[in-house]
Amino acid sequence: MATVQWRMTRLLAHYQVGGPAADIEARAAALALEQSIEMPLSAVTSDYVRQQVVATVEAIRPLEPDLHRVTLGIATATVGRDVGQLMNMLFGNCSLQDDVVLCDIELPPALLATWPGPRHGLAGLRTLVGAGPRALTMTALKPQGLPPAELAALAATFATAGIDIIKDDHGIADQDYAPFAARVAACQRAVSRANARTGGHSVYAPTLSGGPRQLAAQARLVREEGLRMVLACPMLMGLPAFEELVRHDLDCAVLAHPAFGGAARIAPPLLFGRLFRLLGADATVFPNHGGRFSYSPATCAALARAALAPWQGIKPCAPVPAGGMSVERVDEMLAFYGQDVILLIGGALLAAGTALPERAREFVTRVQQAGVSTGSVVP
Amino acid sequence: MATVQWRMTRLLAHYQVGGPAADIEARAAALALEQSIEMPLSAVTSDYVRQQVVATVEAIRPLEPDLHRVTLGIATATVGRDVGQLMNMLFGNCSLQDDVVLCDIELPPALLATWPGPRHGLAGLRTLVGAGPRALTMTALKPQGLPPAELAALAATFATAGIDIIKDDHGIADQDYAPFAARVAACQRAVSRANARTGGHSVYAPTLSGGPRQLAAQARLVREEGLRMVLACPMLMGLPAFEELVRHDLDCAVLAHPAFGGAARIAPPLLFGRLFRLLGADATVFPNHGGRFSYSPATCAALARAALAPWQGIKPCAPVPAGGMSVERVDEMLAFYGQDVILLIGGALLAAGTALPERAREFVTRVQQAGVSTGSVVP
C-alpha cells in the first residue's frame, strides 16, 4: 500500500471518474461534496463543518483522455465505527453515478484498528489442514437439491481424496431438501470419519445464510458441532451483519464468497421500486432525472410505477425522486409523477440561507396548492 | 405486472444479456446452470435435481442486435424463505458477469407471501402527516457535523414551515459530533413542539445504521421516544438485516435510501481483496481469469496482492481464484499465483463422473507436488 503522511483525521478514497478533462476539477469538487455533506458549500455556516467535515480533493491525475483518478480526503469523524457507515461515506451515493468507480482506500491507523481482519488468516488455514507452505485445495459440495446423506457421501469422497477444504456450494442454504442442521451434522461426521481412516486433516465448511437471527442460530450450531470453518457471502448478508457475525458469533475460520458483488447492475426499478417495497419500505428514495444522477425519465417513471402498481395485495410504496431537486421543479415533478409521490428537497432549501424559512414554506405551499396532474407517468 | 400461468414451483427472473445472437441459446443455458446448480448438467445424476432444481430457460427475446432478454425459471425450493438466498439465486454469481443485468422478477403467490411489504404504505404515510390525497413534502437535516441542538433547530424550522417529513441526511449515523440518542431526542422534541405550536403534523425520521446489534438498540430507542418514521439504507445494512429490522424490531414507517446500490462498480481488488479481509475473511473467493467470468489477469493479480500484502499487522487473507477452474489448470495457476493460494475446483471434478475419486486425488497430488513458482504475480 502507498506510504502517505497521514493526515490523521482523513481517510483517502481513490476513484476513477469519467468525463472530459476540462470539467474534472469541478467534477471532483462535486464528488467531494456528494461524499460528505451533500449540500452546497456556500450554504454551510459552521466553521467546524467547513474545515473538518467537508471532504477534500487531495489529487487529480489523468489516466486516459476522458478518465481521471480523483483522490478524496474523507473525515474519519464522519465514519464512526460502523462498516456500513464507512461504505456509505466511500460509495453510498456515488455508487449510483455511472461515471464513478471506487478503486481503493487508505485508512489511517486508528480507523484501520477498528476492524480486526482475519482471525486465522492464511497461516492459520494451513495449520488447520496440516499443510506446510504449499497451496491448499478446496472443492464444493453440489448440486443443491441433494439430500444430506448424498452430500455427506460426496464429502467423504473428497475427504478421502485428501482435499483440504470441502465447502458447501454457496447456493446451498437452509432449503427443505437439505436443512442446515441435518446437513452440517452429516457432512461434518462424514469428513471426520474419513480423516480418522486416512490420517488426514480435511475440513468441511458449510454455507451460512439468512438474517441476523438465523445467522446467530447457525453460528451456535457450528460451535456445538465443533466445525472449524464456514463459508459466508458478505454482500448477500450485508457488510455490517457479516462483520458482527465474524466478530461476535464465530471463532472458526471464515471463507468469503463474492456472490451479489455486482448489485449495481440490478435495474433500479426492480431494486429500489420493487425489492425494497417487498421487504417493507413504506417509501423509497431514488435519483430523479435531471438532477445529480444519470437516471433517465423513462427509468424514473418505471421505478415509480414499480413502487406503486398493484401487486397481489402488497401496499403501494411511495416513490421519492430526489438528488438535486429544487422548489422551481415542484410543478414539473408533480406533472411527471402525479400526486402519488413524496418530493424531497434538501440542499436547495438550505441554499436559501437566511431566507430558509420562507423558502421552505414556499416548497410546502407549491405542493399543497398544485392541481391534480393529468399527464402523470404513473397510470 | 405480467399475468402468467404460474408454474407454482418456479419464479421467473428476467435478464438482459449481451453478446451475439448466434451464441444466445448457449449463453442462456449457461446462465440457467450458473443460477441454480453451478455445475455441468451432464454430471447431475439425480432425477429430482434435473427436473426440479436446475433452472429452466423459459424465453429468449431479441432486444437489439447484440442484446437479448432471457427469462429463467428458478425453482422456489432453492430459495427457502430468506431474502439473502433469494438474491443469491437471482443474481449471486451472475452479478459478477459483465454481460448480465437483472431486470425484473415474477414471484409465484406462495413465495411472494413470504415477505410482508410495507406496513403503512403510501396511504398510511398520508394519514401519519394528516394529508389528503396530495403529494407529500420531505427534506433532510444536514450537513452532518452539526451538533444535536443545531440539527434540532433546523428541524424546528422545517416543521414550522409545515414540511411533512423531516429526515436525517443519510450520512448522519452515530458520529461523536451528534450521537444517535441525543440527536433523536432533540430533533423529535423540536418537531413535536413546532407541531404543538402550529397544529401541524410534521414527522421526524432519523437514519438507522450499523450492524444487527446496533440496529436493534436504535429501534428500541425509536419505540421509546415514540417516533413514527425512520430512514434506512437496505443495501448498506444488507437486505436480510433490513428485512429482519422491519419485520421484528420496528412498527413505525420506514423510508428506504438507495445508498450503496451500485456496489458492482467497486474495484474487485478492493471489495473482495481488502474489504472482505478487513472485516474478517480468512479466505476470499473470486472469479479467476479465463474462467466463467470476465476478470482480467491483471485484476486477478491485483486482487491476490491486495489480499496478501502487508497491511499494518492485519493477517494475510488467502486468495481463492475460482469459477470454472480445472485440474488441467493447476500448474498454470500455481505459476501465476505462487503458493499463497487456495485452488478451488468444483464442477470440473464432478464432471469426472465415476472417475471422481481419482480425479479429486489427481487434483490433490498435482498441488502437493508442484514446485515453488518463481514467476508469481504476488511479490
Name the strand (E) or helix (H) holding B320.
Answer: strand B318-322
| Sequential DSSP letters for A218-229 | HHHHHHHTT--E
Minimal CA separation from A298 to chain B, in Å: 14
User: Are A241 and B212 within 8 A, CB to CB?
Assistant: yes
Strand ranges inside B88-195, DSSP E: 100-106, 136-141, 165-168
Residues ≥6 apart with Cβ < 8 Å to A9: A52, A75, A76, A77, A108
User: What is the per-residue DSSP string for B278-302?
Assistant: HTT-SEEEEEPTTTTS---HHHHHH
Q: Are A347 and A314 in contact, with CB atoms under 8 Å apart?
A: no
**With an 8 Å Cβ cutoff, are B283 and A254 in contact?**
yes
Can you point out the beta strands (E) in chain A?
A: 10-18, 56-64, 67-75, 100-106, 136-141, 165-168, 203-205, 229-232, 253-256, 283-287, 318-322, 342-344
Q: At which residue does the C-alpha cell 429430482 appear? A: B48
Q: Measure in Å the smallest separation between the Cα of B22 and chain A Cα atoms.
A: 24
Minimal Cα–Cα distance from A29 to chain B, Å? 16
Of the candidates B103, B143, B279, the beta carbon closest to that of A242 is on: B279
pLDDT digits over B327-366, tens only?
A: 898 889 889 988 887 777 766 777 787 887 888 778 878 8
Q: Check CB contact under 8 Å for A117 and B314.
A: yes
The tens digit of pLDDT for each residue in B96-152 reads 677 887 777 778 888 878 876 677 767 777 788 888 776 667 678 888 889 999 999
Can you state the percent helix, strand and coil of chain B, rounding each to 5? 45, 20, 35
Which candidate from A92, A122, A136 shows the least CB-CB separation from B170? Answer: A92
Are the CB atoms for B280 and A116 separated by under 8 Å? yes
| Gap between the Cα atoms of A235 and B238, Å rounded | 7
Asked if pLDDT for residue B195 goes beyond 90, the answer is yes
Give the pLDDT confidence score for residue A293 in this predicted structure: 54
How are strands ordered across the β-sheet holding B283-287?
A229-232, A253-256, B283-287, B318-322
Question: Nearest CA to CA, how far is A313 from chain B (Å)?
Answer: 9
Interface subset of A 125-164, CB within 8 angstroms of B:
125, 133-140, 142-146, 150, 157-158, 160-164
Whether A97 and chain B come into contact, CB under 8 Å, resolves to yes
Nearest to B158 among A77, A164, A360 (CB): A360
Phi, psi of A61 (to 5 degrees): -135, 130
Question: What is the crossing angle of helices A180-198 and A212-224, to 10°?
Answer: 30
Nearest to A294 by CA among A323, A260, A327, A253: A323
Cell of A30: 462535486
Low-confidence ranges of chain A (pLDDT < 70): 1-8, 96, 116-117, 121, 134-136, 138, 258, 261-268, 270-272, 274-277, 279-281, 283-285, 291-294, 346-347, 371-379
Could you give the CA distance from residue A150 to residue A154 in angstroms, rounded to a whole number?
A: 6
Inter-chain CB pairs, A–B, below 8 Å: 613
The 3-state DSSP class for residue A59 equals strand
Say yes or no for a CB contact (<8 Å) between A259 and B95: yes
Q: Is A127 left (phi over 0), alpha (psi -120 to 50) or beta?
A: alpha
Contacts of A143 in chain B (CB under 8 A): 36-39, 44, 46, 49, 53-54
In DSSP terms, A105 is beta-bridged to A13
Percent of chain B clearing pLDDT 70 (strictly above)? 85
Q: What is the pLDDT of residue A6?
A: 44
Nearest to A238 among B102, B239, B313 (CB): B239
Residue B4 has pLDDT above 60, yes or no: no
Q: Cell 411472494, residue?
A: B112
Q: Do the Cβ atoms of A240 and B237 come within 8 Å?
A: yes
B window 188-207, beta carbon within 8 A of A: none
Q: Which residues of B touch A357 (CB under 8 A)?
A: 157, 160-161
Distance from CA of A157 to the nearest CA of B (A): 6
Question: How many other β-carbons are positioned within 10 Å of the β-carbon of residue B180?
Answer: 24
Task: Check A145 against B77: CB less than 8 A apart.
Answer: yes
For the segment B162-179, the average pLDDT, to the nearest whole number, is: 86
pLDDT digits (tens, 9 = 90+) for B271-314: 666 656 675 557 666 778 886 556 789 888 988 898 888 877 77
Helix/strand/coil for B96? helix
Q: How confident is the model at residue B68 (pLDDT cuts 50, 70, 90)?
A: very high
* R_g of chain A computed on alpha carbons: 26
| Chain A residues whose beta carbon lies within 8 Å of the beta carbon of residue B82 | 173-174, 209-211, 214
Inter-residue contact B366 to A145 (CB < 8 Å): no
Asked if A263 lies within 8 A of B261 by C-beta distance, the reply is: yes
What is the predicted pLDDT for the residue at B259?
Answer: 72
Maximum average pLDDT range among A233-242, B30-39, B313-322: B30-39
The answer to whether the CB atoms of B242 and A364 lie below 8 A apart is no
Question: The C-alpha cell of A117 is what?
Answer: 481482519
Q: Is A316 on the interface with B (CB under 8 A)?
A: yes
Work out the widest C-alpha separation in chain A, in whole angstroms.
Answer: 81
Sign, CA dihedral A233-A235-A237-A242, equals: positive
Q: Would an 8 Å CB–CB cutoff place B55 in contact with chain A?
A: no
Q: Tell me the mean pLDDT in the region B226-247.
A: 86
Specify the pairing of strand B10-18 against strand B100-106. antiparallel
Q: Do B162 and A109 touch (CB under 8 A)?
A: no
- In this prediction, residue A227 carries a pLDDT of 94
**DSSP 8-state assignment for residue B271:** I
Q: Which of A38, A83, A87 sits opposite B142 (nearest CB)?
A: A38
- Distance CA(B155)–CA(B149), nearest Å, equals 10
Rounded to whole angstroms, the Cα distance separating B239 from B115 reads: 12
- Which residues 213-252 of A are in CB contact (within 8 Å) with B? 213-214, 229, 232-244, 246-248
DSSP string, B195-237: HHHHT---EEEPBP-SSHHHHHHHHHHHHHTT--EEEE-HHHH
In chain A, what residues touch B109 (CB-CB under 8 Å)?
312
Structural element, H or E, at residue B95: none
Closest CA to A71 of A31, A19, A117, A23: A31
CB atoms within 10 A of CB A308: 23
With an 8 Å Cβ cutoff, is B78 touching chain A?
yes
Amino acid at the residue B232: A
Chain B CB within 8 Å of residue A257 CB: yes
Task: Specify the higher pLDDT residue, B265 or B342.
Answer: B342
User: Between chains, do A213 and B87 touch, taking CB under 8 Å as contact?
Assistant: no
B10 pLDDT higher than 70? yes
| Cell numbers describing residue B349 | 471434478
Q: Taking all residues of chain B, what is their mean pLDDT, rounded to a whole number?
A: 82
Percent of chain B residues topping a pLDDT of 90: 31
Interface test with A, best of B103, B274, B342 (most A CBs within 10 A): B342
CB contact under 8 A, B287 and A258: yes
Distances (CA, A) of B297 to B273, B289, B292: 15, 5, 13
Q: Give, rounded to a whole angstrom, the gap between the first and last alpha carbons of chain B.
A: 53
pLDDT at A135: 67
Instruction: Read off the pLDDT band of B21 (50, 70, 90).
Output: very high
Q: Which of A38, A63, A120, A276 would you mutate first to test chain B, the one with the most B CBs within 10 A?
A: A276
Residues B177, A246: C-beta atoms closer than 8 Å: no
Confidence band for B269, pLDDT divided at 50, 70 and 90: confident
Q: What separation in angstroms does the CA of A315 have from each of A61, A318, B90?
A: 49, 10, 23
pLDDT given for residue B124 in this prediction = 79
B interface mutation test: which of A88, A157, A183 has the most B CBs within 10 A? A88
A66 vs B: CB within 8 A: no
- A100: chain B residues, CB-CB within 8 Å: 265
Q: Put residue B312 in one of left, alpha, beta given phi > 0 → left and psi -120 to 50 → alpha.
A: left
Residue B322 backbone phi and psi in degrees, to 5: -155, -175
Cell numbers for B96, please give them. Answer: 459478477
Answer yes or no: are the C-beta atoms of B230 and B208 closer than 8 Å. Answer: yes
Cell of residue B133, nine digits:
390525497
Torsion of CA A359, A362, A363, A364, to 10 degrees: 130
CA distance B266 to B128: 39
Note the residue count of chain B. 379
pLDDT (tens digit, 9 = 90+) per residue, A99-149?
Answer: 887 777 778 888 878 876 677 767 777 788 888 776 667 678 888 889 999
